[in-house]
């Protein structure tokens, strides 16, 4: 039962901290802890912070997930545009085979939240204690997502030719999005004071944090992969995706081995995918207004404003300076800027 909550309320799965296997319990009893933003406690493992359910999934998929060369893995920090990237990639890779692009409600994105179509390895597939999921029903190319940092990915992901698409977002907007999202999940616990969450974020203590290490881990891999015969990691930014969506979508299609043909471009297919996956279209669908994830999280929590720069409505000048300085100090040496 979550703290401070009437006894008649059924606790949604994302707040349950007690369905852990013995090995996970043993492990977390040894890990550094801090205050969670919506669960009571978060744990630091391999340098990054996780909610307990994510640790269960992390260990399980590290042990059991066998990547195939044709797999595609979408990697993000929470609130960097995961839902959008899932919608775009799902539409792209299935357009010639299973799901032709249509704007007349036949496409699966009209009746399914993108998270239901592209599962997270650690939250949706390997999250149940003592259960190894049967992935044989996924047809090739298999499309999965993860919030795990590069260091915690299953070894088979790193060793195989599977492709990784990483999407990052300006940490000022990521923070504001995460703060709103966490507050919506706190049930009867009230809103986290912005200042408290901000201080934790700046110390790297949030789910998926420290943000600088998460982003750099994939940034470095994307640079390394440029030197290899086959590019493994494609590194994207939410802001560029917003401003130049069709150009990036075409690059993504190339990277994933399913480039747009001239005929498809002439038919306006790129624009159709953009419309299908647009914030306005997805947010206003019945499934995303009233549906829920199996974890109990409402689908509408994934569609708030979908803009660049909402941080301006929340952060003081001092906070902005503080975050910009962290980015400069932690990421500047690697040539990384927002
Ligand atoms: P997740 O990591 O928990 O899955 P994620 O999808 O990364 O969440 O983040 C949600 C953010 O993406 C929200 O940002 P905001 O809080 O600043 O509004 C959400 O609005 C935004 N988002 C969701 N869908 C889209 C979309 N189709 N286009 C642009 N932004 C989107």
Per-residue model confidence as pLDDT tens digits over 259-278: 999 999 999 999 999 999 99
Atom of ligand 1 lying closest to residue 77 CA = 2
pLDDT band at 7 (very low <50, low <70, confident <90, very high): low
pLDDT band at 53 (very low <50, low <70, confident <90, very high): confident
Residues with Cβ within 8 Å of 277's Cβ and at least 6 positions away in sequence, in order, are 84, 87, 88, 91, 109
Per-residue model confidence as pLDDT tens digits over 65-96: 999 999 999 999 999 999 999 999 999 999 99
14 Cβ closer than 6 Å to some ligand 1 atom: no
CA-based nearest residue to 215, from 248, 160, 174: 174
pTM for the full predicted model: 0.95
Per-residue pLDDT, 170 = 97
Indicate if the pLDDT at residue 332 is higher than 90.
Answer: yes
CA pair distance 6, 4, nearest whole angstrom: 7
Atom of ligand 1 lying closest to residue 283 CA = 24
- Tell me the percentage of the chain whose pLDDT exceeds 70: 96
78 Cβ closer than 6 Å to some ligand 1 atom: yes
Indicate if the pLDDT at residue 14 is higher than 90.
Answer: no
Per-residue model confidence as pLDDT tens digits over 157-197: 999 999 999 999 999 999 999 999 999 988 778 899 999 99
Per-residue pLDDT, 318 = 98
300-323 mean pLDDT:
97
Distance 31 CA to ligand 1 centre (A): 30
10-17 mean pLDDT:
72
Indicate if the pLDDT at residue 46 is higher than 90.
Answer: yes
pLDDT band at 1 (very low <50, low <70, confident <90, very high): very low
Structure tokens at 274: 């953009």
Distance 238 CA to ligand 1 centre (A): 10
Indicate if the pLDDT at residue 2 is higher than 50.
Answer: no
* Mean pLDDT, the chain, integer: 93
Residues in the chain: 338
Most confident of 7-16, 125-134, 161-170: 161-170
Name the CATH topology of 27-334.
Answer: Rossmann fold (3.40.50)
8-25 mean pLDDT:
76
Look-up of token digits 């990036």: 248
279 Cβ closer than 6 Å to some ligand 1 atom: yes
pLDDT band at 118 (very low <50, low <70, confident <90, very high): very high
Distance 41 CA to ligand 1 centre (A): 24
84 Cβ closer than 6 Å to some ligand 1 atom: yes
CA-based nearest residue to 149, from 221, 60, 240: 221
Active site residues: 147
């Amino acid at each position: 039962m979550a703290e401070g909550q009437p006894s008649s309320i059924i606790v949604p799965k994302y707040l349950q901290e007690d369905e852990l296997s013995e090995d996970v319990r043993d492990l977390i009893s040894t890990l550094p802890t801090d205050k969670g933003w919506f669960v009571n406690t978060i744990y630091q493992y391999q340098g990054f912070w996780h909610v307990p359910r994510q640790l269960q999934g992390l260990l399980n998929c590290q042990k059991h997930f066998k990547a195939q060369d044709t797999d595609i893995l979408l990697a993000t920090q929470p609130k960097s545009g995961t839902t959008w990237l899932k919608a775009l990639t799902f539409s792209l890779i299935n357009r010639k085979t299973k799901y032709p692009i249509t704007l007349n409600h036949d496409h699966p994105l009209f009746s399914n939240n993108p998270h239901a179509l592209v599962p997270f390895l650690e939250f949706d597939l390997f999250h149940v204690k003592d259960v190894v999921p049967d992935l044989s029903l996924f047809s090739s190319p298999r499309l999965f997502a993860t919030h795990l940092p590069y260091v915690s990915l299953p070894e088979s992901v790193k060793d195989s030719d599977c492709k990784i698409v990483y999407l990052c977002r300006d940490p000022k907007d990521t923070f504001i999005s995460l703060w709103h999202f966490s507050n919506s999940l706190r049930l009867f616990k009230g809103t986290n004071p912005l200042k408290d969450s901000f201080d934790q974020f700046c110390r790297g203590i949030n789910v998926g944090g420290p943000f600088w290490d998460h982003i750099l881990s994939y940034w470095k891999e994307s640079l390394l992969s440029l030197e290899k015969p086959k590019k493994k990691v494609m590194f994207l930014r939410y802001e560029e995706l917003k401003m130049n969506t069709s150009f990036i979508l075409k690059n993504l299609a190339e990277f994933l081995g399913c480039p747009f043909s001239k005929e498809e471009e002439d038919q306006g297919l790129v624009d159709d995918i953009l419309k299908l996956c647009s914030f306005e279209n997805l947010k206003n669908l019945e499934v995303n207004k009233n549906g829920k994830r199996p974890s109990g999280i409402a689908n509408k929590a994934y569609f708030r404003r979908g803009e660049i720069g909402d941080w301006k409505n929340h952060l003081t000048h001092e906070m902005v300076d503080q975050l910009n300085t962290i980015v400069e100090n932690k990421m500047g040496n690697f040539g990384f800027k927002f």
